[in-house]
Structure 1
Amino acid sequence: MASFTLQGIPVSRGITIGRAHLLRPAAMDVKHYLVAQEQVEAEVERLQRAIDAVQLDLQSIWSELPTDAPTELGAFLDVHALILSDPMVSEAPLDIIRTRHYNAEWALVTQVDVLSAQFDEIEDEYLRERKADIQQVAERVLKVLTGSADQLPRAVGVDEQNANMIVVAKDISPADMMQFRDVAFTGFVTDEGGTNSHTAIVSRSLGIPAVVGLGNASHLIRQDDWLIIDSDAGVVIVAPSPLLIEQYRQQQAVLLKARKKLGKLKKTPAISLDGIEVTLLANIELPEDAHAALEAGASGVGLFRSEFLFMGRTGVEQHLPSEEEQFLAYKQAVQTMKGRPVTIRTLDVGADKPLEHGEHNILNPALGLRAIRYCLKEPQIFLTQLRAILRASAFGTVHILIPMIAHAFEIDQSLAMIEQAKESLRIERIAFDENVQVGAMIEIPAAALSLPMFVKKLDFLSIGTNDLIQYTLAIDRADHEVAHLYNDTHPAILQLLSMTVSAAEKAAIPVAICGGMAGDIKLTRLLIGMGFRELSMPAALLPEIKQEILNTNIAALEPSVKKILRTYDPQVIQELLAEVRELRLLH
């Protein structure tokens, strides 16, 4: 196969090399996970039992055929039995389990893909159509497998030699992204999505290279194709030559060495050349992520996206997380951070983050019932979460962050609900921090334009730049068709950021940025030059942002930043930003 290159939108940093794993359409969708070495033979036996069960089933159907049944029906059953006994179907998937550690369903589908591609090359039309028979046989085996698959434990601790798979899909939902956390995938490639789609956000939080918005990558790339992702350049190279692979492996080694060097800054405070300290925080999705935040040297958690505790819950877990389950998750994160503050955002679902359970399924667009609007409409769900967060505050410093605030009454109702949760805990004599701080996400232009009515009631502000840009520029950040219009340095965005930091300074309350701009090293000097002193980002990005701050004289930046804020010409803004990045700023 000839090599070719696809150009998309870079959404994270780094280089990865591996084989393509195509997420199949729902009709042929199966679970994908790697099996630990000690579980391999048990997985082989599971597939063998399923094959044997289907073989017995086919024999039983054949023996029970009525005498007036068409002869072709018996012949087709014979063909299916022969296919199932063919080593290419019955043995090759077992070898895949043993060599690649794929789970049984995945191994079977992988082999069927290989056979199907071979049949597509056959000129004889009749033989070519036998591909359908192979797929039908495979589906029978899959039905047996999926009936018991949920009972198997999820594999963990797989050898790194197997960690060379790159997910290729039309798009990946936030819930699906979280599923891949426990599997050894090293990159993501999607047809859809933009710079701040949730695929992009989660890939950055995992420190995994990703390129999105490729258009038709999932149709051009075949299962098991070798891929190189250069996520700095937004490039995916398909079927690269061995020489090219070796060149990129060398680049990988250089990047890894640089990353290890940055790791030495872990305990170094982020203090600029002129002595101004910037607090660097981490964004997390699940409590386990707090460990990575600590390892990266974060001063705390600036954004705990609590909705990921609510998503992707199916089967026997098809329900909302209980207060106790939430409490234990929040407590784990708080204790892991060892006294450093943990800011927990209350449930932010809707739009591109629907819940996946029964009556609470949310399919509303970005302008619909989401975030605080949903929580105030479902007070019992909101109250349960607030009680869990407050209980966790007894074990460390916790801040409560309310998303998508636009109206004064939303703040009033939220504060009333927090007080109700506190009172219920007091009655039950359950410990919590009476002085827990409450802040609001500034992600709707209306909030940024009317901050004086909010700041007197709040302890802090946190700017969600991803949604702020989406709502200001009227762009769906998950829609690749308009992704090119998403512009984080649009004059309107810069004005809203400047207004917010000024209002916070006037009210003497902290203001942080926890959206994508906080982790973009190209914008670090701009943001700290505007006056921001708290930045929250994926833990993987924190070391390089810290190094940028250590090499910056903030006072020397201010004249250039003021020029940028007085400018409304996009090209001039980009030229000035380039100058700011290249300034040699001495103490």
Structure 2
Amino acid sequence: MGITLHGIGIGGGVAIGHAHVISHNEIEIAHYGIAEEDVPQEISRFDAAIRLARQELETLWGSIPEHAPAELGAFLSLHIMLLNDHTLTAEPHLIIEAQRCNAEWALKQQLDILLAQFDEIEEEYLRERRSDVIQVTDRIFKALAGHHIQPPAPSRPDSILVAHDLSPADMVLFKDTHYFAFITDVGGPTSHTAILARSLDLPAVLALRHAQALIREDELIIVDGINGVVIVDPDEQVLVEYRARQSDWQASQRALQDIRYAHPVTRDGVEIELLANIELPDDTALALAQGAAGIGLFRSEFLFLRDEDDLPTEDEQFDAYRQVAESMQGHAVVIRTIDLGKDKIPKWQEESDSPNPALGLTGIRLCMAETQLFRTQLRALLRASAYGKIKLLVPMLSNLNEVRQTRRHLEEIKEQLAAEGLPFDAEIELGGMIEVPAAALTVGAFLKQLDFVSIGTNDLIQYTLAVDRNDDAVSYLHDPLHPAVIHLLHHVITTADRIGKPVAMCGEMAGDPQLTTLLLALGLRRFSMLPAQLLKVKRRILDADLERLQQAVPALLLAEDANAVRTLLADL
């Protein structure tokens, strides 16, 4: 008799196939003492394992397929960076010396310390990086044991991969395989597995907890990546139903290719701007291929999270920003200034002892505290603006003084560049992220000093509802259709329209086709999302009748709970 498992759906439609289960054999960590004279040799053995693990990842990085998602290289680079971090490479040395223990036991103790620190963090993105640390240390353990990781070959043409977790290295090893779908016991909406699944547009369900233990090799399973459901050994009636759903989904995917070059215009003739979110300069090729009208969010953090201990130089930043600007062929590129602190801690930055980093020194607050860091980035951005249409976006705004200080820094740097005879766009636009309720409620005042705003719904929902959606105990409360969220979005959009300033959305809501009609009804006309989501959202736009949608706004604003909002949306 079949069983149904529930997890987190990562889109990609429906897949029906046979399970290929990757065993998750935890390495037993031995603990034994060593003589004092053997300490240098044990440290050398540990260092050799680090080098081997790094070499394996670098080899994999060099073999990434040409048309693989850009995110794959970014995540592999993160794992290589972790192998260069002193907390994994140097701290075990001290443990070996102090306790005169074997390298495996020293690494295990350091891993336990790191995981305990992760468990105290509430911010979603950083909690997801916990799995990266586990995967990297697992690779070191295997290197110490002399094991080499081999890619699991699919057992059937319709294989569905079942694993406890999948690392970026696993994804590269799968480059010559063809899986229908992925399912894992762990993972969340912002895990690398989720991001890669979206990029590949494959059905995936994560956080199933015990799927690997419950599913047998070659067992027939259904993966519903839309609803987050996995059905094991389905009966014939269920199979017939899901085959029809799969057929409908495949037909819709083929139809999406027909609108690749269609202009995003609603049925009643209103033009909508579709932009792309990117992480790395090379991602612009995919954005253009999917028909993006520009880059609505380029996260600049990748430059500050690299392997080196030092900050990126002005010229290094300039080269990266210029590459993006030039490759977009005249389309606008919105570059967000560094957003570090709450979820991404670079090697050069001391870890905060703040009890709640998400409410601490992060985003523009960190830039205001580290003015030289900020001014160096602003100089690089201004210099790059001479090579394309660059706009600046400041994250985590909460008060007007942050905008005033940013303006002051910009004007002073413009004067410097002019005195040095360096070209730049003197009229470069400055925008602000609306991602905390304080900024959303007072957006009118911000818009008087900004050229545009962009709504970051990921944080706006978190801060508005006081819910970490990655916390199993409260994740059911994280709902983008909560009336409070709807009211804030409506207020920001209508206020910007009244003042005559552009407003975009770059959070996950913008890329969710199930929410496109809602956002159109609320007045949003600029959407920015992962390139893989562009065509799905465009399909909804082409089918939308704005006049009809806008008639539903009064009822949407009167809805008392999220279920009432869903009921109204179902009729649109």
The TM-score normalised by the length of structure 1 is: 0.68
Q: Aligned pairs, how many?
A: 465
Aligned to 1:391: 383
User: Do the aligned partners of residues 136 and 407 (structure 1) sit closer, same or farther apart at CA in structure 2, a change above 3 Å counting?
Assistant: closer
Q: Secondary structure at the match of 2:297?
A: strand
SS at match of 1:288: helix
What is the one-letter code of the residue matched to 2:325? V
Q: Is the 8 A contact 1:286 1:309 kept in 2?
A: no
SS of match in other structure, 1:366 = helix
CA shift, 1:522, in A, is 1.7
Tell me the alpha carbon deviations over residues 85-113 of structure 1, each in whole angstroms, 9 at most, x when there is no partner. xxxxxxxxxxxxxxxxxxxxx9xx99xxx
Identity of counterpart residues, as a percentage? 41
- Gaps of at least 5 residues in structure 1 are 39-105, 111-134, 147-154, 581-587
Query: Which residue number in structure 1 is paired with residue 347 of structure 2?
Result: 357
Contact 2:162 2:212 (8 Å CA) reproduced: no
TM-superposed deviation, 1:296 = 0.8
| Other-structure match for 1:114 | none
Change (3 A) 1:425 1:22: farther
Q: Note the C-alpha offset of 1:343.
A: 0.8
Alignment-derived partner of residue 392 in structure 2: 400
Q: Which amino acid aligns with 1:549?
A: I
Confirm whether residue 382 of structure 1 aligns to residue 387 of structure 2. Answer: no
Equivalent AA in structure 2 for residue 141 of structure 1: G
Given that residues 301 and 338 in structure 2 are in contact (C-alpha distance below 8 angstroms), is that contact kept between their aligned partners in structure 1? yes
CA-to-partner distance for each residue in 1:320-347, whole Å, 9 max, x for gaps? 3333333222222222221111111111
Change (3 A) 1:384 1:474: same
In structure 1, what is the equivalent of residue 10 of structure 2?
A: 11
What are the within-5 Å matches in structure 2 for residues 542-581 of structure 1? Answer: 542-580=534-572
- Identify if the C-alpha distance between structure 1 residues 219 and 542 changes in structure 2 by more than 3 Å, giving closer, same or farther: same
Q: Does 1:340 align with 2:337?
A: no
Does the 8 Å CA contact 1:22/1:223 hold for their aligned counterparts? Answer: no
Q: Distance in 2 between matches of 1:301 and 1:436?
A: 15
Q: Which residue of 2 aligns with 1:54?
A: none
- 2:146 is aligned with 1:141: yes
Cα gap change, 1:334 to 1:19, in 2 (>3 Å): farther
Q: Is the 8 A contact 1:330 1:389 kept in 2?
A: yes
Structure 1 residue identity aligned to 2:319: L
The corresponding residue for 2:268 is 274
Partner of 2:288: 294
1:323 aligned partner: 314
1:230 to 224, 233, 237: 224
Superposed, 1:446-465 pairs within 5 Å as: 446-465=438-457
Residues 356 and 14 (structure 1), Cα distance of their counterparts in 2 relative to 1, 3 Å cut: farther
Once residues 382 and 25 of structure 2 are traced to their aligned partners in structure 1, the CA distance between those partners, rounded to angstroms, is: 42
The equivalent of 1:491 in structure 2 is 483
**CA apart distance, 1:578:** 0.6
- Check 1:534–1:320 CA distance in 2 against 1; reply closer, same or farther (3 A cut): same
Counterpart AA for 1:354 = K
SS in 2 for 1:419: helix
Cα deviation, residue 301, structure 1: 0.9
Q: Deviations over 1:289-333 (max 9, x none)?
A: 11111111111111112223433x33xx44433333332222222
1:304 pairs, out of 284, 288, 298, with: 298
Q: Distance in 2 between matches of 1:337 and 1:37?
A: 23
- Cα RMSD (Å): 4.3
2:77 is matched with none
1:262 aligns with 2:286: no
Give the distance between the partners of 2:185 and 2:559, measured in 1 at CA.
Answer: 35
3-state DSSP of counterpart to 2:473 = helix
Q: Secondary structure at the match of 1:434?
A: coil
**Residue 254 (structure 1) shift:** 6.2
Instruction: Select which of 530, 534, 537 maps to 2:526.
Output: 534
Which amino acid is 2:264 matched to?
A: A
Structure 2 length-normalised TM = 0.70
Q: 1:274: how far off?
A: 1.1
Q: CA deviation at 1:568?
A: 1.7
C-alpha distance 563-287 of structure 1, shift in aligned 2 (>3 A): same
Among 422, 435, 439, the residue aligned to 1:443: 435
Output the amino acid matched with 2:224. D
Following TM superposition, by how much is the alpha carbon of 1:220 offset from its aligned partner in structure 2, in angstroms? 5.8
1:341 partner letter: A
Q: Distance in 2 between matches of 1:565 and 1:233?
A: 27
C-alpha deviation, 1:517, in angstroms: 1.1
Contact conserved, 2:64 with 2:172, CA < 8 A, in 1?
no
- Partner Cα distance (2:542, 2:533) in 1: 15
